[in-house]
């Protein structure tokens, strides 16, 4: 396959990238670098290589910004003040197959998947050669590698494939992605799997990750690495997309249990404290190790959601009650030219006062309650009481809501509330576009006017039909990846 994309990094300076995160993230430095083609012949080398996989995930090209932000930018709850040109074609639903953001999401998503596959292959070859503590370490590293590969595949298939399930309709047989079950050598002919096959691979990796964590009986002790709580949380999300509602409920509960049931914040002060920078969010199970020393600066999510023009639009603001503590981190400022900018919200890093320091919280406890609420409601026999009880845990962020009596009591009204609650709670975490697609929502998009206006350039667009193009550079490389046929017809004119 083309050299730019699905290949291992021949001289992977593991942990020795432009971001060197020290002891609180990737604990290998430049002097630990080695040529990965010499072989991952020890548990220590597998560990270094695993850190390289995290580095690829951490990059702003993938989870550090582009792949995460994508799901909110192209949705009905975001506003662009038109002062910069970042993400504008995604926001306006006018992408091309040469789009920069699609290019890098494809590129770095496959770096995560392929490098993780190399770690898995090498680690499995060592399993019968080590014992004791070294074996436990190896099992733990393999558990993380399987979770990383699942995360990479999940975002790739969402961006470049059709939504797997759309309100009961099954699109499993539509074209998916190239699934990396083993390392793909450079210049190899490949083909795309179906969306369903991609999801099967994702679930298999997450199942194997849990099995290996159980065998290891340990984690690396930091939420910047995958843990059982994060793996259960990711699997709950994946099963929700698959409309395996009971499975999603079970995994959400297991995530909360493994994560020691963190208490949610219900006051403006405690909620704002979640976004002080570093690992301040005590509700999170998995986050990126962005700090005051190691961050993406102008390429950070904090910059995107402030001086690079994006923030909550008038529609989302209308969903947020004055009594909702989540509004405590929403504010706007004017620059010297009088242009108004959002002050970065969840990326505020209040202690540091620098949005670039705000980290990406990727898998969090509130989502687990929302997954349960939707799962209970959308089962073959809806369980309204259980849905209300799960929903209340998050909905109480609005201090006017104190009991299930304050929540809707009919299935239709409760589903609408859950949809709105996911918009309120998960804003800036990258879920909204995928939610709109899987619910089969006909959405209004591309908000214009002022921040507090509710006016759109695109009205009544069936988002579930939307399929994004695979980058032209990959298609033109000639290694077997075929374009999404007619993708341009799935976007509004």
- The whole-angstrom separation of Cα 423 and Cα 416 is 11
Residue 304 has what pLDDT?
A: 98
Q: Which of 486, 252, 272, 464 is nearest to 358 (CA)?
A: 272
> Which structure tokens are listed for 304?
């995107």
Using an 8 Å Cβ cutoff, are 200 and 153 in contact?
no
Q: What is the 3-state secondary structure (H, E, C) of 57-123?
A: HHCCCCCCCHHHHHHHHCCCCEEECCCCCCCHHHHCCCCCCCCHHHHHHHHHHHHHHHHHHHHHHHH
Q: What distances in angstroms separate CA 9 from CA 14, 49, 119, 452, one per listed residue? A: 10, 10, 12, 46
> Which structure tokens are listed for 442?
């006909």
- The whole-angstrom separation of Cα 101 and Cα 90 is 8
pLDDT tens digits, 20-64: 333 333 333 323 455 555 678 999 999 999 999 999 999 999 999
Residue ranges for the chain with pLDDT beneath 70: 1-38
Q: Which of 114, 105, 193 is nearest to 149 (CA)?
A: 114
- The whole-angstrom separation of Cα 108 and Cα 155 is 11
Residue 11 neighbours by CB distance under 10 Å: 10
Q: Which of 152, 141, 117, 159 is nearest to 7 (CA)?
A: 117
Residue 7 has what pLDDT?
A: 36
Residue 29 has what pLDDT?
A: 30
- The whole-angstrom separation of Cα 225 and Cα 426 is 21
Residue 346 has what pLDDT?
A: 98
Q: Which long-range contacts (CB under 8 A, 24 or more apart) does 125-128 make?
A: 126/40, 126/41, 126/42, 126/43, 126/46
Strands 284-287 and 456-462: unpaired
Residue 1 has what pLDDT?
A: 54
- The whole-angstrom separation of Cα 430 and Cα 296 is 18
- The whole-angstrom separation of Cα 163 and Cα 350 is 36
Full set of structural domains in the chain with CATH: 22-266+363-490 (1.25.40.390)
């Amino acid at each position: 396959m083309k050299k730019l994309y699905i290949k291992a990094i021949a001289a992977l300076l593991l942990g020795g990238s432009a971001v060197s995160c020290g002891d609180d993230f990737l604990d290998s430095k430049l002097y630990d670098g080695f040529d990965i083609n010499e072989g991952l012949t020890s548990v220590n080398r597998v560990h270094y290589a695993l850190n390289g996989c995290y580095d690829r995930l951490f990059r702003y090209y993938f989870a550090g910004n582009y792949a995460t932000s994508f799901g909110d930018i192209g949705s009905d709850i975001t506003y662009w003040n038109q002062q910069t040109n970042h993400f504008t074609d995604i926001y306006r639903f006018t992408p091309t197959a040469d789009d920069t953001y699609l290019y890098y999401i494809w590129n770095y998503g496959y770096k995560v998947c392929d490098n993780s596959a190399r770690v898995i292959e090498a680690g499995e070859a060592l399993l019968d050669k080590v014992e004791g503590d070294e074996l436990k370490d190896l099992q733990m590293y393999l558990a993380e590698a399987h979770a990383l590969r699942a995360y990479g595949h999940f975002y790739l298939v969402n961006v470049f494939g059709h939504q797997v399930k759309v309100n009961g309709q099954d699109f499993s047989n539509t074209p998916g992605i190239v699934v990396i079950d083993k390392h793909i050598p450079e210049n190899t002919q490949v083909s795309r799997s179906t969306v369903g096959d991609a999801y099967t691979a994702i679930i298999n990796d997450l199942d194997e990750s849990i099995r290996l964590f159980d065998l290891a009986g340990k984690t690396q002790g930091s939420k910047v690495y995958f843990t059982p709580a994060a793996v259960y949380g990711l699997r709950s999300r994946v099963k929700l997309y698959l409309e395996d509602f009971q499975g999603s409920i079970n995994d959400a509960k297991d995530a909360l249990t493994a994560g020691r049931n963190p208490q949610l914040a219900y006051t403006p002060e405690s909620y704002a404290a979640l976004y002080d920078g570093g690992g301040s969010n005590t509700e999170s199970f998995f986050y990126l190790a962005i700090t005051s020393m190691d961050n993406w600066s102008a390429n950070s999510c904090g910059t995107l959601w402030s001086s690079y023009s994006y923030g909550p639009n008038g529609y989302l603001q209308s969903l947020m009650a004055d009594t909702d503590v989540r509004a405590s981190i929403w504010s706007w400022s004017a620059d010297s030219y009088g242009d108004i900018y959002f002050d970065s919200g969840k990326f505020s890093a209040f202690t540091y006062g620098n949005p670039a320091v705000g980290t990406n919280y990727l898998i969090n406890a509130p989502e687990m309650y929302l997954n349960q609420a939707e799962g209970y409601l959308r089962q073959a026999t809806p369980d309204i009481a259980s849905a209300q009880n799960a929903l209340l845990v998050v909905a109480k962020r609005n201090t006017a809501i104190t009991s299930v009596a304050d929540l809707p009591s009919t299935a239709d009204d409760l589903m609408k509330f859950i949809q709105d609650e996911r918009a309120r709670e998960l804003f800036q975490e990258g879920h909204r576009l995928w939610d709109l697609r899987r619910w089969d929502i006909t959405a209004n998009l591309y908000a214009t006017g002022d921040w507090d206006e509710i006016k759109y350039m695109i009205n009544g667009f069936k988002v579930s039909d939307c399929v994004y193009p695979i980058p032209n550079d990959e298609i033109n490389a000639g290694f077997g990846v075929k374009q999404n046929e007619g993708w341009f017809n799935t976007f509004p004119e």
